[in-house]
Structure 1
Amino acid sequence: MLCLGLRSAGFSQSLEEYLKVAAENNPELKAYFNDYLAALEKVPQAGALPDPELSMGFFIQPMERFMGNQQADIQLMQMFPWFGILKTQKDEAGKMALARYELFQEAKYRLYYQVKSSWYQLYKLEEEIRITKENLDILRQYERLALIRFQTSGTQAGPASGSSTRPEASSMSSNSPVPSTASMGGMSAGVSSSTSGKTGSKTGSSMGTSASMSGGGSGMTDVLRVRIQIKELENTLALLEDSRQPIKAEFNLWLNRDPNEQINIADSLSASLVSWERQVLLDSITQNNPMLKMLDAEEQVYEVQKKMSLLEGRPMLGAGVNYMPFTPRPDNGMNMAGNDMVMPMVKLTIPIYRKKYNALQKEAELKQLAVQQRKENTVNQLTTQWYAALRDLEDARRRTKLYSEQTDLARQTLSLLMTSYATDGRDFEDVLAVQQQLLDYQLKLITSIIDQHITIAGLENLAATELN
């Protein structure tokens, strides 16, 4: 069984509403739907009889006939196709409309995928901005902590006795604005400073001078290091915030609305597992994919056309009437005034030129073969995409687990390093390196979660169904 599906607790309804708006407003999707409606209108056209033919001829000089003078010749004829042709033509038009409908379905699910993908990318961007801001705040707290240690190291080096050093250390540990892990280390720093203060009172001012040279220099280096990272992170944050508008505009334009319109984004995405057997999922794709259904409809169209080529080689029948009006004509002192003549007529076409009908039959067979080959190729492509999507989904799942564990380990490491730094001022470079790793793991964790959502949206697009 393959575990598929990521859903958020509180965004589904909002996203479903966006999909509904996109389906109603997207101009490309409406164009495909109108193409389908236009194809439906061909069905009654294909099932209609040919128009009746009316021909009228009037004599400028009446034609003298035995029964009188003929004034005109009027014919009305209706042709009738061979039995079954009209029904077959309607069937062909219906299959062509079905192919148009499957094109509309393919466009709809492609639009759904694009809307979901844009929505997930916007959520990812907002999370990256939030995480970057949080890490920027933490780095600024590190900067204040490094400044306090730098100032404290200088103050400790000044007085010769340890009694004046202890209040400074106590003030740093209780009042400095540092993260929770650092404040625990700050308490340890106060104890360590008190101890070092007592030792300093015994060793004299020479030890204070040495502390000033070593601790002060390294403290200022720590401040500069953290400021470098702050500058880099501020630049990254500015780039992320500049990226918000293009993604927002793209999402709104899929819905065919104002690019600046507000978009509701979920507070968090939580995973919920949906179990799908691999082969069942592949069967769903090969049975429900709109492109395959469209090719199936085209294959049926050409099957009908093969039947049509046989029927078109049959005669067409026509039935009508010929009406000839007469006026009296004097002849040898007698008025020849015959009645108007009405003559029923029958017409029959004789399809004796068989080459074109044989060619129609061959054309339909070759087109049907081409569609079958195209369908086979499409199945191969969909299967390849299915394998790739499963690989990407499994990779995203592994990365989510990995970066979640790495994030926890980085936080634990950072807590220990902050305690060590707050105690004796060492390993500040390691603190910054681990903080950068933590930021990297947090961003990669968000990326892996979004990759799972987008991959599942792609599978839903292939299968033309919701994987829930």
Structure 2
Amino acid sequence: MFKTYYIKPTSISTQLMLVVVLLCFGFNLKAQSLSELKTIAAENNLQLKAQFKAFEAQLEGVTQAKSWQDPNLSFGYFISPIETRVGPQIAKFSLTQMLPWFGTFKAKGDIAAYKAEAEFEKFQDQKLKLYLNVAEKYYDLSALRYIAELEAKQLQILKDLKSIVKSNYENNKANLVDILRVELQIDKQLSVIQVLKDQDQALATQLNQLMNRQLKTPVLISNPKQILDQKEVMQTDSVSKNHPRLEAIRHLKESNKAESVLAKKQAMPQFGLGLDYAIIQDRNVMNAGAGQDAIMPMLSVSLPIFGKKNKSRKREASLQGESIQFQLENEKTRLETEIQVAQYKQDELYSLLDLYEKQLLNLQDILQLSEVALANASMEIEEVLRLEEERLLYEKQQAKTLANLQKLNETLIYLTSNSEL
């Protein structure tokens, strides 16, 4: 007696629509995994390259710190020659080399080396943050493309609903306004798909920027739903003892210890070795050594008698050490806090996922009944549209929640990484 219509979300027309959406999004022919994208970013990212060059520049300071001071060479010419027993002295050359206290060079070298290692740990941390940024953009893009698939399916469902309403209208079981309502929803759906296309291009551009490649390079993600459904939970109890953020501060702490040693060395005398060469003019002085130039070795010693300056250096190194220790303790607390917050968010998102799954199961049963009722003209199209929109909303929220879970997992990987990665 009554015609019954069933909405098929996986019809051939729907599949064709998905293909069109994928082509419109400009995908490449070859999909790249997240690990491959991370590798590309690590090799090409400009900010990471800049950080590594900063480390290499800091490393050059080790050679400079261990280098000897330049010797001093001086020349003096006597306008009025000084008469000596063997003749008048007309000019003098002096060469002096200062020698610091024993162990000073080693202390300076240690300071520079530890600072260079701290800079390297900053590079390691920058690399881990880059991996995290790439992963976040990757999962955002995966969620966006899965949502684009959902929107394309929704468009096909609306077209099927339009067919049902149109059939009811031809049988005087529906009004023309019902057809117009569905057409309005179809136009809205087409606009949503276009907006998603623009957002896709923006996210792909950001991802390409992180990898330092052409901004319009297509980014292919095969099976976004499967990527989002990977529910590998990152379990951790505490912060990694070798996290780069902690290691960088520890190296600064070691550098400070070397500065304390240097402060003690600088309170000791410095030695100077020198050589004076005096030019004596030969004026036929009746002397066996007449006109013979004079050579005089010299030894000098600095006198560190201003104790206030030396005490200030030691006090400065001690205060810096206390400051670095506070920084280390604070960084440990920050990392632990960030881990706990991420874990709380994980639990919250899993609760939301359970809710969405239950709601979607209930809505699926209701929609099957409502579709039959609509075909039999016993339900208004507004209610069916509302239910379809509610189902789509839950599916999109589910996709976004899955993406947020993946990003939280990557965040925990970053927070628990060590400097050896």
2:203 to 229, 247, 265: 247
Residues 1:235 and 2:191 are matched in the alignment: yes
Distance 1:149 1:396 in 2: 43
1:445 to 374, 377, 398: 398
Return the offset for 1:45. 0.5
Cα distance per residue 1:380-430 (max 9 Å; x no partner) = 222221111111122222323332343233223212222233345435443
Match of 1:306 in 2: 260
Are the equivalent residues in 1 in contact too, given 2:31–2:221 (CA < 8 A)?
A: no
Q: How many aligned positions are there?
A: 389
AA matched with 1:293? E
Are the equivalent residues in 1 in contact too, given 2:104–2:266 (CA < 8 A)?
A: yes
Would the alpha carbon gap of residues 240 and 271 (structure 1) be closer, same or farther in structure 2, given more than 3 Å must change? closer
Unaligned runs of 5+ in 2: 1-29
Are the equivalent residues in 1 in contact too, given 2:59–2:116 (CA < 8 A)?
A: yes
Match of 2:134 in 1: 115
Distance 1:52 1:132 in 2: 77
Distance 2:289 2:295 in 1: 18
Return the offset for 1:58. 2.7
Residues 1:325 and 2:279 are matched in the alignment: yes
Return the offset for 1:24. 2.4
Distance 2:283 2:228 in 1: 102
User: SS state of the match for residue 95, structure 1?
Assistant: helix
Distance 2:158 2:401 in 1: 25
Match of 1:359 in 2: 312
Q: Which deviates further from its counterpart, 307-316 or 223-232?
A: 223-232
Would the alpha carbon gap of residues 232 and 14 (structure 1) be closer, same or farther in structure 2, given more than 3 Å must change? same
Cα distance per residue 1:154-193 (max 9 Å; x no partner) = xxxxxxxxxxxxxxxxxxxxxxxxxxxxxxxxxxxxxxxx
Return the offset for 1:97. 0.8
AA matched with 1:459? L
Return the offset for 1:294. 1.7
Distance 1:25 1:353 in 2: 53
Match of 2:16 in 1: none
Cα distance per residue 1:192-238 (max 9 Å; x no partner) = xxxxxxxxxxxxxxxxxxxxxxx3xx444543443343233233223
Would the alpha carbon gap of residues 251 and 230 (structure 1) be closer, same or farther in structure 2, given more than 3 Å must change? same
Q: Which deviates further from its counterpart, 448-457 or 337-346?
A: 337-346
Distance 2:221 2:232 in 1: 23
AA matched with 1:250? Q
Residues 1:105 and 2:124 are matched in the alignment: yes
1:226 to 173, 178, 182: 182
Are the equivalent residues in 2 in contact too, given 1:330–1:336 (CA < 8 A)?
A: no
Match of 1:179 in 2: none
Would the alpha carbon gap of residues 12 and 309 (structure 1) be closer, same or farther in structure 2, given more than 3 Å must change? farther
Q: Which deviates further from its counterpart, 384-393 or 18-27?
A: 18-27
**Structure index of larger Rg:** 1
2:155 to 136, 145, 149: 136
Are the equivalent residues in 1 in contact too, given 2:74–2:94 (CA < 8 A)?
A: yes
Cα distance per residue 1:335-379 (max 9 Å; x no partner) = 762533222211100100011111111111112212222222222
Are the equivalent residues in 2 in contact too, given 1:315–1:350 (CA < 8 A)?
A: yes
Return the offset for 1:140. 1.0
AA matched with 1:235? S
Are the equivalent residues in 1 in contact too, given 2:73–2:96 (CA < 8 A)?
A: yes
Distance 1:275 1:221 in 2: 50
Q: What's the TM-score once normalised by structure 2's chain length?
A: 0.85
2:293 to 316, 326, 340: 340
Match of 1:265 in 2: 221
Distance 1:463 1:266 in 2: 29
AA matched with 1:318? G
2:37 to 2, 5, 18: 18
Distance 1:236 1:340 in 2: 97
Cα distance per residue 1:271-290 (max 9 Å; x no partner) = 445565431xx232xx2332
Higher helix share: 1
AA matched with 2:269? P
Distance 1:463 1:141 in 2: 50
Distance 1:325 1:61 in 2: 14
AA matched with 2:338? Q
Match of 1:7 in 2: none
Unaligned runs of 5+ in 1: 1-10, 154-214
1:152 to 167, 171, 174: 171
Match of 1:390 in 2: 343
Cα distance per residue 1:117-157 (max 9 Å; x no partner) = 1121122111111111110111111011111122124xxxx
Would the alpha carbon gap of residues 126 and 273 (structure 1) be closer, same or farther in structure 2, given more than 3 Å must change? closer
Q: Which deviates further from its counterpart, 390-399 or 38-47?
A: 390-399
AA matched with 2:274? G
Are the equivalent residues in 2 in contact too, given 1:329–1:335 (CA < 8 A)?
A: no
AA matched with 2:164? L
Cα distance per residue 1:284-316 (max 9 Å; x no partner) = 2xx233222222222222221111111100000
Q: Which deviates further from its counterpart, 14-23 or 72-81?
A: 14-23
User: Cα RMSD over matched residues?
Assistant: 2.5
